[in-house]
Amino acid sequence: MSSELITDSVDSPQSQPKTGILLVNLGTPDAPTTAAVKRYLTQFLQDRRVVDLNPLVWSFILKGIILPRRAPRVAKLYHEVWMEEGSPLLVYSRRQQQALAARMPQTPVELAMTYGSPSVKQALDRLQSQNIKRLIVLPLYPQYSCSTTAAVWDALSAELSNRRDLPEISFIRDYAEHPAYIAALARSVQASFERNGKPDLLLFSYHGIPQRYANEGDDYPQRCEATTRGVVAALGLNPSQYKMTYQSRFGREVWLQPYTDETMRLLPSQGVKSIQVICPGFSSDCLETIEEIEQQNRAFFLENGGERYQYIPALNDSADHIDLFQALVTERGL
């Protein structure tokens, strides 16, 4: 057999392992009801990547105190932000999946949630039914954290541990400094400046984690700082024109600081009367951006003397965002 025939056989598309893409986000309740929220929060808050307290003590606190009080209140908040197609996080994540699949019609693209539906199992079933032998996993968290990205790894590993046929895995840890990500964020901020005028301050609000996690080795704060530096450099801002904070703390433990809500109350007294807020840690708008940032923190700022407040939406399913996803998976050999 000639060397030319051997080369053609090895390089033919049919001989290459079929690759699939798995997008994974955190999760959301199936409905804006107390029962659905309780099911979701139980799964979410029992993950030791999220809360690593003594399991017996934590289970008592969670089921006996937190869920009975928190689930009805959170359900009401979800009801206020619920879209016709469902929870915002699921709606935007699904649109991202569909947009990426349209860009890459020869490559199966599935969506999973670490908690709730669609589950990692359901997504893997669909991929493996298409004879996937190589899998690119893209957690939809721009900045790595043990409480988010690592939880995706755990969920994937647990599900694959029950399967005979394992695909080759390419796992994208994060994309905090990726040029396409930084450029997309900078363009979204610049567009907001052009629509609404340049504010006294651009505030970067990231989801918080317990300070202890960072002390124990989670490099999430450094990854957030890297994103902020990239966007600030792209926009040419000086130190007085931006600030970085952390939101969504839970429980009594000290979390990463400064806290977004406390900062919002203080800024007007420091001469900041107009502010625009971006949340670069969220790939999709969700309860934490729509209700907590766009509504709750707007009230904190305006009630304490602020005059103009603008939330800059997440990148969601914008063309820039899908460009980024396509670049990330293509760089992994697609």
Indicate the annotated binding residues.
207, 288
Using CA atoms, how far residue 200 sits from 43, 302, 310, in Å, is 41, 14, 12
Q: What is the dihedral of CA 92, 94, 95, 98, to 10 degrees?
A: 160
Q: If DSSP codes are grouped into helix, strand and coil, which group holds residue 23?
A: strand
d(CA 21, CA 52): 30
d(CA 249, CA 40): 18
**Residues annotated in the binding site for Fe(2+), as ranges?**
207, 288
Q: Of 118, 172, 166, whose CA–CA distance to 142 is shortest?
A: 172
Q: Where are the beta strands (DSSP E) in the chain?
A: 19-27, 109-115, 134-139, 168-171, 201-207, 242-247, 274-278, 308-312
d(CA 284, CA 99): 14
